[in-house]
Structure 1
Amino acid sequence: MTGYAADLALAHLLADAADAISTDRFRALDLRVESKPDLTPVSDADTAVEREIRALLAEHRPGDGLLGEEYGEQPAAGPDGRRWVVDPIDGTKNFVRGVPVWATLIALLESDRPVLGLVSAPALGRRWWAATGAGAYAGPDAASGAPIRVSGVKDLADASFCYSSLTGWESAGRLDAILQVMRHTWRSRAYGDFYGYMLLAEGALDVMVEPELSLWDVAALVPIVTEAGGTVTDRAGRPAPAGGENSAIATNGLLHADILERLGEPAAR
């Protein structure tokens, strides 16, 4: 076991509590949905899950900091700078439309670097987790997880390529570039949100890219992909997350230089 064994056990406890709330509200006829100032949706499940996680962390890790998508930043009380980062429901647009591809994302950061990540997708019956130096695992629950590993695909022509949306890449001024990548790959699909990264970590696809995302969208994904043998950087080639507004180029490692050359910012090429 690693030095993060107790933290990982706590992350599973947080995910169990989150799953109980989110599955009860999924496809509920009385689900309440509002629009945030950026016009993205937030449901009563999002807020209820984050409140429960905050309460549990206050009980079990009162000195740790916390950043949540719905209720913002709570500074760390202790001197070591540990901070949990939580997205109560990643894929809220799927959640509110009854699409089962959504998850709770839980990360632990030390010195602003993710050292633990857990992704729980109860509607898919699957959970993924990793901690630095401990490998990456997936399964229906903590007791039945199995190690996962990225693919060994070396050539873009043989690669399964995943992306979030074409509109985001158009806004980033890279629509032509991503279309060129799609023309050169074996297969391309937009699974979106957390799911593309988890399929990458399992070796089911080889590349997942996203032009813009927040810390809570990516922090939990990084340890899982990297402990599975993959690579995650931003579009400038810096290890993700890079702070502030983030982007992500996630690959099996073997394809990273090629994808970064094609989709990276000028400073990365």
Structure 2
Amino acid sequence: MTRYDDDLRLAHVIADQVDQHTMSRFKALDLHVETKPDHTPVSDADRDAERMIRSTLERARTRDAILGEEFGATGSSPRRWILDPIDGTKNFVRGVPVWATLIGLVDGDEVVAGLVSAPALGRRWWAAKGSGAWTGKSLSAATRLQVSGVTELEDASFSYSSLTGWEERDRLDAMLDLHRTVWRSRAFGDFWSYVLVAEGAVDVAAEPELELYDMAALVPIVTEAGGRFTGLDGKPGPFSGNAIASNGHLHDVVLDYLGD
């Protein structure tokens, strides 16, 4: 089996650089924020962070392709780095510390490595295929992740982002039925929902509309922790435009509620 530990170490080096920049712009009085055509915000910090990541990858992985939220796709290699320079930009621009840089690596049609760095929380989560999922402040100070063992929806903690997308997808009634069935539901949102699944603090997370760069880095973190990550269509991975992540035990029953 191909190992991706060197790629994961590179992702940590990149995150070290990017964290310094994003933290210097977090709550900065001169932060410049614009609205993109899809009506989502983007700041100068998002664009500069992606430029930094691309610059390092273009030197260190010259043959690899890149797909980023802010600057699109470059290259045509089966190895693709998938980047979200600041996941949770709305939090970032409002001074909420729940935001992160997402770095994923796809090899062919499989996500083989992922790193999530949330410097305002002082935490990282990472995983590579066959190497387990981990959290901590660095590679040398890490704890292995394991999903929960909850097997009944009535005992489950469920996280989502917002209700708007479910309404647009004509799944709001199903979403509310699920909400009424589970033990607890909270809108942690963005990357936070999924790393909490990997930690075992949340049992299920779902969102109806996502881009590849929102999900890629999260997939190996959830699956290497023992969980499942699929689209609402039940297909594994981050390629369906939406997501359900779970501890595995609850996945099929949640698909019965929310799935296509």
Shorter-chain TM-score above 0.5: yes
Q: 1:18 deviation in Å?
A: 1.1
What 5-or-longer segments of structure 1 have no aligned partner? none
Q: Report the equivalent of 2:155.
A: 158
- Mapping of residues 102-181 of structure 1, within 5 Å: 102-181=99-178
Q: Given residue 85 of structure 1, which amino acid in structure 2 is its aligned partner? A: I
Q: 1:240 deviation in Å?
A: 2.0
Q: Report the equivalent of 2:210.
A: 213
Once the two structures are superposed, what CA deviation does each residue of 1:161-205 show, in whole Å capped at 9, x if it has no partner? 101110110011000101010101110000000000000000001
Q: 1:2 deviation in Å?
A: 6.9
Once the two structures are superposed, what CA deviation does each residue of 1:13-70 show, in whole Å capped at 9, x if it has no partner? 1111110110000000000001111111000100010000010001100110000000
8 Å contact 2:227–2:248 — kept in the other structure? yes
**SS at 1:50's partner residue?**
helix
Aligned-residue CA RMSD in angstroms?
Answer: 1.1
- Aligned to 1:82, which of 79, 83, 88? 79
Once the two structures are superposed, what CA deviation does each residue of 1:193-248 show, in whole Å capped at 9, x if it has no partner? 000000000000100000010000000000000000000110111112225xx110
> Structure 1 CA distance, aligned partners of 2:231 and 2:174?
16
**SS at 2:120's partner residue?**
helix
What 5-or-longer segments of structure 2 have no aligned partner? none
**SS at 2:208's partner residue?**
strand
Q: 1:75 deviation in Å?
A: 1.1
Q: Given residue 150 of structure 1, which amino acid in structure 2 is its aligned partner? A: V
Following TM superposition, the consecutive aligned residue runs of length 4 or more in structure 1 with deviations greater than 2 angstroms are: none
Once the two structures are superposed, what CA deviation does each residue of 1:99-155 show, in whole Å capped at 9, x if it has no partner? 000000000001131100000000000000000000000001222111010000000
TM-score (norm 1): 0.95
Identity of aligned residues (%): 60
Tell me if 1:63 matches 2:63: yes
**SS at 1:39's partner residue?**
coil
Q: Report the equivalent of 2:246.
A: 251
Aligned length: 260
Tell me if 1:13 matches 2:8: no
Q: Report the equivalent of 1:42.
A: 42
TM-score (norm 2): 0.98
